[in-house]
Amino acid sequence: MQDTLLLRMRQTGMFEVLTLVLVIALAFLFLGLVGVIQYNVQMNNMPEGLTAFEIRESLGYFASSRGTFLTWGWILLAAAAVGFVILAIASHYRDKVSYATKKRLRKAGVVLQYLGALFIALIVLFPIYWMVVSSLKTSEELLLPVPTLWPNEFQWQNFPNVWKRAPFVRYFVNTLITTFFIMLGELTLGVLAAFGFAKGNFKGRDAMFVLVLGALMVPIQVTFVPIYVMMSRLGWINSYQGLIVPNLVSAYFIFMMRQSFKAVDDSYLDAGRIDGLGRIGLIFHVLMPMTAPTLVTVSIITFISGWNSYFWPRMVSTRDEWRTIAVGVARLRQTFAGMEVANYNEIMAGAVMAIIPIVVLFLVLQKYILTGMSKAAMK
């Protein structure tokens, strides 16, 4: 009976959601417990004579946030418990209620799912909304102790002011050039490497692919010193070569395309060989058309990554004429040096202009991104 009830609960679609809430609640309670332990240890070792403010400043993060973690943990735990009870009752009497009641319950479940999705979407989109509205405020309004959710008066001049503060046209041109050639290089070299790892038959293939996967785990902050020294000795600091060449190969691109190529049956390649196609012909006339969604997806991700790249362009470009858009937005703050109030509203305006191409690209091609991701994960 219990197994049947559990199976019915899992079939509703809300069981996994409640389980996630339960896991989050337990995580919050654990962090709260860590905070209580840290608080007790620190208070026992705290010197005497400190003020309440000094005590609060001396406490660690978990100790000072223990109340918040415990409160939210108990709230989420109670919500999960109530949800499981309601779900169990509804699942137990599911076969005993009328069709009209089942229909109403199903509609109520759909409404709750939409409300939950809307709540999560609002959380995700709020930073973007705050950036946009902040770009339309005055500097004084932006720095008010109580923030406003809507500009009292729209300041459209913030956007043209940004173009006067810094050479944003040059930043856009540099970003377009570097992103295009990085995407072209990753596409060409990535497809050729993925073909070798997916359909090639040579000694050490799998070991070499493990090395490629290992490259995914090594951040650029670890390898940038030798790369920077190499670029410096070649004289490529403040040049397109320095911005582009170190990013021409992507381990992520190779991994995604290899997974897609492996999903293509070898019989298609055999048919192509019978028609006289060589390796390059098989890639361009058989594999790439059959894996087009994944190819488009990783190309879009490469474009977005290149457009948003900050760390390496920041290291290799020291003059305005070679900076990219991400570095240029960060440089806007330095153009306000000596002013009484920093113009964060214009910095937000620069950030808005920087993300517009990415947002438009995602809205137009989002179906390809979702399709490509799902296909690449099937193998």
Check whether residue 235 and residue 363 sit in a common domain: yes
Q: Which residues of the chain have pLDDT under 50?
A: 1-2, 338-340, 379
Over residues 298-334, the pLDDT tens digits come to: 888 888 888 888 888 888 888 888 888 888 887 777 6
Is residue 142 domain-resident? Answer: no
Instruction: Return the pLDDT at 165.
Output: 78
Instruction: Please tell me the total count of domains within the chain.
Output: 2
Last residue of a domain, one of 78, 96, 114: 96
Q: Are residues 199 and 326 in the same domain?
A: yes
* CA–CA gap between residue 379 and residue 276 (Å, rounded): 28
Domain assignment present for 185: yes
The Cα–Cα gap between 119 and 37 comes to 34
pLDDT tens sequence across 109-154:
788 778 878 888 888 889 889 888 888 888 778 777 788 888 888 8
Residue 81 included in any domain? yes
Please check whether residues 228 and 371 belong to one and the same domain.
Answer: yes
Helix, strand or coil, per DSSP, at residue 203: coil
Residue at which a domain ends, from 56, 81, 96: 96
Per-residue CA distances from 141 to 82, 145, 161, 367 (Å): 43, 9, 17, 39
Burial classification of residue 79, based on how many CB atoms lie within 10 Å of its CB (0-12 exposed, 13-18 middle, 19 or more buried)? middle
Residues 69 and 194 in one domain: no
C-alpha 6: how far from its chain's center? Answer: 35
309-336 residues labelled b (16+ CB within 10 A) or e (exposed): beebbebbbeeeebbbbbbbbebbeeeb
Decide if 175 contacts 307 (C-beta within 8 A): yes
Q: Where are the beta strands (DSSP E) in the chain?
A: none
Contacts of 224 by beta carbon, 8 Å cutoff, 6+ apart: 311, 312, 315
**Do 176 and 284 belong to one domain?**
yes
In a domain, 107, yes or no: no
Q: How confident is the model at residue 270, as a pLDDT?
A: 86
Looking up residue 351, the CATH number of its domain turns out to be: 1.10.3720.10
Please tell me whether residues 88 and 166 are part of one structural domain. no
Last residue of a domain, one of 96, 129, 151: 96
pLDDT of residue 99: 65
Residue 80 structural domain: 2-96
Prediction pTM value: 0.69
Task: Note whether 249 and 183 are within 8 A (CB).
Answer: no
Instruction: Locate 283 and state its tokens.
Output: 């890639």
